[in-house]
Amino acid sequence: MSVVVFVEVKNKVSKAAMEAVYYGSQLGSVTVVTYGDTSEEILKELGNYGAENILVCRSLNESNDQALTNLIVAAVEKTNAEFVVLAQDQTGKGVGPRISAKLNAGHISGAIDLPETSNGFVVKTNVYSGKAIAHVALHSAKKVISILPNSLAPQLNQKDANLEEFSPDLGTFGIKVKELKSQGDGVPLPEAELVVSAGRGLKGPENWGIVEDLADVLGATTACSRPVADIGWRPHHEHVGQTGVAIRPNLYIAAGISGAIQHLAGVNGSKVIVVINTDPEAPFFKAADYGIVGDAFEVLPRLTEAVKKFSASQN
């Protein structure tokens, strides 16, 4: 079975790329398609997760949905692939539906597990803002699967990947990406395994030092509730929830966040949730694995100190 996996690789292979390649390798023989000027050495690391062939389009240097759609479709035609696998990230959300329309393929958006194939081809996805799981059967000859980041642990599946320059006709497209701004060097929220988040209970942007200190010692990414981003205390890319980023970290620490349903919608896929709130009736405690009824201004620094002590004792 031939599988095309689309990944974006910049300075290093992201976890989302590892997940997509590993997922593809569980379906068949993987040809990765990618673009840009990333070094051969970095691209060949995809072989660690099961890539057998890598097609790289050097002439394309921008994350342009229309161009990428044509690139991926060309890779499917070249390899006669039955499956296309990609991450359900910002690019995947734009490209996935376009590819399925062009290939007349069924599309699973936001897969959270490998397919069940004992009776057809059935993939699990989150629905109703993560409150339920749908088992979706695909009957089409070609299948497009977008994977929700952090849904599975990519295993090593060593292959000696062969790299090939790929320059199909990408056609003309009406979108031009003028500028891409980086959100910094940290782990992006959708891929983060550890997240420290805070809400309006922190009272003001000047108090975020205690959130960042805990995130630093844990090696975590910071997040926030929506009003905090709306007021401008924190940048919008940190806003998690129904209308923000949906995350599935191993650990989500939430301080001074009430736990409104719209917030929970984006974080309830977290494996362990720790809630710090002064109000014992805060709704978030119902969704928490561990709850601390206390003042974030006292609890966060104490957690930071405890993590520092623990780390020191391990050295």
Ligand X SMILES: Cc1cc2nc3c(=O)[nH]c(=O)nc-3n(C[C@H](O)[C@H](O)[C@H](O)COP(=O)(O)OP(=O)(O)OC[C@H]3O[C@@H](n4cnc5c(N)ncnc54)[C@H](O)[C@@H]3O)c2cc1C
Q: Which residues bind ligand X (CB under 6 A)?
A: 199-201, 225-228, 241-244, 255-258, 260, 262-263, 266, 276-279, 282, 295-297
For ligand X, which is the closer residue by CB, 62 or 295?
295
User: Which residue, chain included where needed, has tokens 């993560």?
Assistant: 130
| Smallest distance from ligand X to CB 223, Å | 9
For ligand X, which is the closer residue by CB, 47 or 256?
256
Count of Cβ atoms closer than 10 Å to residue 113 Cβ: 16
Query: Distance of alpha carbon 91 from its chain centroid, rounded?
Result: 11
- Given a contact cutoff of 8 angstroms between Cβ atoms, the answer to whether 34 and 60 are in contact is no
For residue 77, give both structure tokens.
């035609």
- Cα torsion 81, 83, 84, 89 to 10°: value is -170
For ligand X, which is the closer residue by CB, 50 or 199?
199
Name 164's bridge partners.
Answer: 55
For ligand X, which is the closer residue by CB, 164 or 279?
279
Count of Cβ atoms closer than 10 Å to residue 55 Cβ: 23
* End-to-end CA separation in angstroms for the chain: 47
Count of Cβ atoms closer than 10 Å to residue 68 Cβ: 27
| Smallest distance from ligand X to CB 253, Å | 12
| Smallest distance from ligand X to CB 255, Å | 6
| Smallest distance from ligand X to CB 196, Å | 13
| Smallest distance from ligand X to CB 50, Å | 35
Q: What is the DSSP letter of 208?
A: T
Name 245's bridge partners.
Answer: 240
| Smallest distance from ligand X to CB 136, Å | 25
For ligand X, which is the closer residue by CB, 67 or 255?
255
| Smallest distance from ligand X to CB 133, Å | 21
For ligand X, which is the closer residue by CB, 117 or 183?
183
For ligand X, which is the closer residue by CB, 171 or 205?
205
For residue 279, give both structure tokens.
């109000």
For ligand X, which is the closer residue by CB, 258 or 270?
258
- Given a contact cutoff of 8 angstroms between Cβ atoms, the answer to whether 269 and 252 are in contact is no
For residue 138, give both structure tokens.
């695909």
| Smallest distance from ligand X to CB 188, Å | 17
Count of Cβ atoms closer than 10 Å to residue 219 Cβ: 12
For residue 82, give both structure tokens.
């039955």
Query: Distance of alpha carbon 261 from its chain centroid, rounded?
Result: 21
